[in-house]
Amino acid sequence: MREVTIFRPFCHDPVARDPRVRIFWKRSSLSGVKYQADLTGNEKVKLYWHDEEVIGEAYPKKNYTRPEPRAPTAMDVNLLLSLLHLAQKNNTNVLWFRSFRALGRETKTRLIPQHYLRCARDAFRLWQLLGISWPYCNMPPPIKEVRRDETRRGGPLRPLEVVIHEKWLNEIKRTKRTAVTVQLPLPLQATPLNIILYVHSLGRYEKKDIDINKFTYTVSGNKQATKVTPYMPLTSWIVVKRWYEEHGGYIDWKRAPYHYGLDAQGKEGLVPSRTFSITSHRKPRAKILKEPIRWAKR
């Protein structure tokens, strides 16, 4: 099992969003920053879309169909965490890959083969231009530079060099005591991915009495989900529970069915509860074989 260590704000206030969630960008007066926005669902997190002139080699915009600027998706977060895992494993911020196919094999993120090349290039462009700011933690774009060996143009392979910004690795080392260990790969849906990161950031403490509407809006940024009262992203939680079970962990939650309050007509009585609590959870761990391996006789 692959594990990556990341500083706590990245997990407690996750940034992945579904592409359909709208982010309200505005022009920025900061030096080197073209646009800035508050993360939909969590206004404590700020997004900064840097100007292309202040970064290294970025892929041309004409090759992409996604609107820019944009927020990271679950695929983008999976690729970033996989790159950080390789950087921590090799104790370096410069990573070499033989090609984009080799990148998919080594990071184990090639889950959508027919669109992987375009998604990987789009993710590289995003992490070269997007800076994120949490309370008391302001981080630049995590990928400092992406280079291709132009001398091998036309050949079968063009070695790919990815340079990760030193501040990301230094921040992880600086906050080692409070850092969070995350198991990879994570789901490719934004809401389940954010729930897993949030639960990992809780540590030994059990979170109780979480407002359903507020929690749903924080991890998904979807206003339509909070209009239904009460609402709980049951489908996303089923994906989360299945992910924990597949990786050797578990998670249980409980929701109070009713409480006294005012209904939609303003009458006092029993109404469905708006709160739930995570009663217990255990982080995934390496699977232990129940039976010893039997080697075939020659």
Q: How far apart are CA 157 and CA 150, in angstroms?
A: 10
The predicted structure's pLDDT at residue 297 = 40
Q: How many residues does the chain have?
A: 298
DSSP label at residue 240: H
Where do the domains of the chain lie? 2-182, 186-282
pLDDT of residue 290: 40
Beta bridge partners of 73: none
pLDDT of residue 228 exceeding 60, the answer is: no
Residue 230 confidence (pLDDT): 54
Tell me the mean pLDDT in the region 8-21: 93
Angle between helices 116-129 and 74-90 (to 10 degrees): 80
**What pLDDT score was predicted for residue 86?**
93
27-71 residue pLDDT tens? 999 988 999 999 999 999 999 999 887 565 555 555 556 678 999
Summarised one tens digit per residue, pLDDT across range 73-122 is: 999 999 999 999 999 999 999 998 887 778 878 887 766 556 777 788 88
Query: Which uninterrupted H or E stretch holds 117?
Result: helix 116-129
Question: Tell me: the pLDDT tens digits for 120-144?
Answer: 888 888 999 999 999 989 999 999 9
What tens digit of pLDDT does each residue of 146-192 get? Answer: 887 665 555 555 688 899 999 999 999 999 888 999 988 899 899 99
- Name which of 187, 198, 292, 203 is nearest 243 in CA terms: 187
Other CB atoms closer than 10 Å to residue 78's CB: what's the count?
23
Q: pLDDT per residue over 252-293, tens digit each?
A: 877 767 666 666 667 777 766 677 788 777 877 644 434 343
Two tokens at 35? 């646009």
How far CA 175 is from CA of 169, 178, 180, 295, in Å, comes to: 10, 6, 9, 44
CA-based angle 129:132:133, to the nearest 5? 145
Element (H, E) at 43: strand 42-50
Q: What is the pLDDT of residue 169?
A: 95
Task: Read off the tokens for 87.
Answer: 């950087």
Report the pLDDT value the prediction gives residue 288, as an integer from 0 to 100.
40
Phi, psi of 23 (to 5 degrees): -110, 130
H/E stretch holding 254: strand 250-255
201 compared with 15, residue with greater pLDDT: 15
CA gap 212, 277 in Å, rounded: 10
Would you say residue 296 has pLDDT above 70?
A: no
